């Protein structure tokens, strides 16, 4: 029998960046700094990400475009790759994401793409820690408590376990 189900998410929206707490403001500033270093000669859409570890350390990442478009990397995945390679035993507590065009910071916050959502979900699973997602635009900031809100039906290790004999 079919059953209709509904998925809802909750998030906190701030009208100004200065309304968020100081730790989140710092992380937003670091994401914006990272966006300045992005290599985006094709789209001119520069994205920065900054991850705060439970230890307080901050790791930054940027998008890096490539003429062979599938070969580029997003800022979120760049930051997570740096986390895994440089701080493999540390747990992330938050990631801030900011974007800019040639006209400056985007008015609205940008959300992680599908690939990045999956990678953030995997990082939550790998470390066993919830990662707050801070999306910063010029006109508002959105804080989401876990990637599960942005990717509720995520693919995970459990999906690869077969119940059928091979």
Indicate whether 163 belongs to any domain: no
What percent of the chain is helix, strand and coil (3-state, nearest 5)?
A: 35, 25, 45
Residue ranges making up the domain that contains 82: 13-152
Taking only the tens place, the pLDDT of each residue in 3-24 is: 999 999 999 999 988 899 999 9
The more confident residue out of 8 and 158 is: 8
Asked if the structure places residue 93 within a domain, the reply is yes
* Residue pLDDT, tens place only, 137-154: 999 999 999 999 999 888
What pLDDT digit, counting tens, does each position of 114-129 carry?
A: 999 999 999 999 999 9
Domain count, the chain: 1
Which DSSP string corresponds to 64-129? B--SSGGG-B-HHHHHHHHHHHH-TT--EEEEEEEEEETTEE-SS-----HHHHHHHHHHHHHHT-
Classify residue 40: in a domain, yes or no: yes
Residue 166 belongs to a domain: no
Within-domain flag for 74: yes
Can you give the CATH number for the domain in which 137 is found? 3.40.140.10
pLDDT digits (tens, 9 = 90+) for 30-59: 999 999 999 999 999 999 999 999 999 999
Nearest CA among 122, 121, 125 for reference residue 149: 121
**Which pTM was predicted?**
0.92
Residues above pLDDT 70, as percent of the chain: 97
Residue 16 DSSP code: S
Judge whether 63 lies within some domain.
yes
Q: Is residue 157 part of a domain?
A: no
- Is 166's pLDDT higher than 60? no
Active-site annotation holds for 54: no
Query: Catalytic residue among 65, 76, 123, 124, which?
Result: 76
- The verdict on residue 52 lying in a domain is yes
Q: Specify the pLDDT at position 158.
A: 79
């Amino acid at each position: 029998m079919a059953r209709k189900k509904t998925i809802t998410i909750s998030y906190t929206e701030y009208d100004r960046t200065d309304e968020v707490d100081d730790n989140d403001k710092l992380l937003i500033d670091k994401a914006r700094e990272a966006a300045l270093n992005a290599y985006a000669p094709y789209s001119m859409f520069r994205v920065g990400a900054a991850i705060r570890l439970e230890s307080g350390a901050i790791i930054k990442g940027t998008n890096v475009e490539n003429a062979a478009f599938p070969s580029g990397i997003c800022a979120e995945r760049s930051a997570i790759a740096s986390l895994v390679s440089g701080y493999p035993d540390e747990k992330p507590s938050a990631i801030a994401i900011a974007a800019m065009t040639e006209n400056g910071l985007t008015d609205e916050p940008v959300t992680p793409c599908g690939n990045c959502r999956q990678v953030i979900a995997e990082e939550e699973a790998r470390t066993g820690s919830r990662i707050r997602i801070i999306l910063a635009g010029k006109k508002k900031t959105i804080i989401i408590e876990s990637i599960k809100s942005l990717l509720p039906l995520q693919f995970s290790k459990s999906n690869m376990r077969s119940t059928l004999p091979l």
